[in-house]
Amino acid sequence: MYWLILSAALWMLAFHQAGLAQTNETCLACHQVEGTKVRFPAGGEIDVTVDPKKFAASVHAPLTCVTCHTDQADYPHRPVKAKTARSYHVLAQQICATCHADQAKVFEASIHGQGLRMGLADVPTCTSCHTAHAVVRPKTAAFRNNIPETCGNCHSEAAVMGRYGLRPVYQAYVEEFHGVTTRLYRLVTPLAPSPSAVCYDCHTAHAVRRPADPASPVAPANVLATCRTCHKTAGRFFATAWNEHQAPSMRHSPLVYMVQLFYKILIPGVVGLLAVLTALDLWFWAVTRWGGRKA
């Protein structure tokens, strides 16, 4: 590992003196070596390993490393400006914004973007959902089928969500019809995109808002229109079929809850009864057989 870094350093020196541009190979000679970390003075660390295979398969493969990392063209690199890992990620988001200004502008106005501006520690940056060096086309089936887990990284964490007065909705989503179907696509047919609703079909991807915000696609006045993008013939009361990201209980979807409860009692009951019958049968068999021989 050390000889790799050393030979790369010598290489860089040679190229630097020859005044040649840095190629991705020069950067990757050091950066594909696993385990190098940067520790920040006020907390946190980042791993500086970049997987060359994933980068080569990403949408940005034609770009050079220095297109995005203008400050790190030379080695030794300039000292890192950020004081914490979190502020490093937040600053680095500007890199994506330089080329994708439209998405960045929409994102800034969202609940997540507003949170970033306010310095909230748990809201996503571009790379939370897209990664930095393995960015794939969002239209691919793999990206779409994995969305519940991408959002679920945070929205399944009761402790994190609790800080913002929110419920962890992921668990209820994977148990409702849309979630069950999407999960099946993810496991069984990863090459076909789920036709069912994933998080961004209802909430959008970059313009996520609070459901109470009138501009949200899931605000009470808009939610039916959002369902109708797929359920074309949905009637006036269709949206009330929605489980509101709540697991069924006597308060939420009591009918579903009672059906589930019925099966929870019925199935163990039937299996238990069968077990008792089998045991009785075996006992009867044993008694007639061994009982008979003794006689």
Token pair for 22: 């840095």
In whole angstroms, what is the distance from residue 217 CA to residue 168 CA?
20
Identified binder of ligand HEC from the candidate list 86, 145, 183, 208, rule CB under 6 A: 208
Q: Which is nearer to ligand HEC, 18 or 295 (CB)?
A: 18
Q: Which is nearer to ligand HEC, 56 or 286 (CB)?
A: 56
Choices 64-72, 255-263, 268-276, 277-285 (CB under 6 A): range interacting with ligand HEC? 64-72
CA pseudo-torsion sign 109, 110, 111, 114: negative
Exposure b/e, 65-88, CB count within 10 A at least 16 = b: bbebeeebbeeeeeeeebeebbbb
**Interaction between residue 211 and ligand HEC (CB under 6 A):** yes
Give strand pairing partners of 47: 37
Number of residues counted as binding ligand HEC (CB under 6 A)? 105
Choices 74-82, 251-259, 266-274, 286-294 (CB under 6 A): range interacting with ligand HEC? 74-82
In whole angstroms, what is the distance from residue 29 CA to residue 4 CA?
7
Is residue 80 within 8 A of residue 38, CB to CB? The reply is yes
Token pair 């006036």 is found at 236
Token pair for 229: 């993008």
Binding mask 129-168 for ligand HEC (x = CB under 6 A): xx-xx-x-xxx-------xx-xxxxxx--------x-xx-
In whole angstroms, what is the distance from residue 61 CA to residue 1 CA?
25
Identified binder of ligand HEC from the candidate list 14, 20, 42, 59, rule CB under 6 A: 59
**Interaction between residue 232 and ligand HEC (CB under 6 A):** no
Please state the φ and ψ torsions of residue 46, each to the nearest 5 degrees: -130, 150
- Report the site for ligand HEC in 171-190 (rule: CB under 6 A): 173, 177-178, 181
Shortest CB 266 distance to ligand HEC, Å: 23
Identified binder of ligand HEC from the candidate list 40, 44, 51, 115, rule CB under 6 A: 115
**Interaction between residue 38 and ligand HEC (CB under 6 A):** yes
In whole angstroms, what is the distance from residue 30 CA to residue 188 CA?
38
Q: Which is nearer to ligand HEC, 138 or 272 (CB)?
A: 138
Choices 222-230, 256-264, 267-275, 278-286 (CB under 6 A): range interacting with ligand HEC? 222-230
Is residue 103 within 8 A of residue 206, CB to CB? The reply is yes
**Interaction between residue 226 and ligand HEC (CB under 6 A):** yes
Q: Which is nearer to ligand HEC, 177 or 262 (CB)?
A: 177
Note the maximum CA span of the chain. Answer: 105
Would you give the DSSP letter of residue 79? P
Shortest CB 278 distance to ligand HEC, Å: 37
**Interaction between residue 207 and ligand HEC (CB under 6 A):** no
Token pair for 106: 């929409």
Shortest CB 253 distance to ligand HEC, Å: 11
Shortest CB 27 distance to ligand HEC, Å: 3
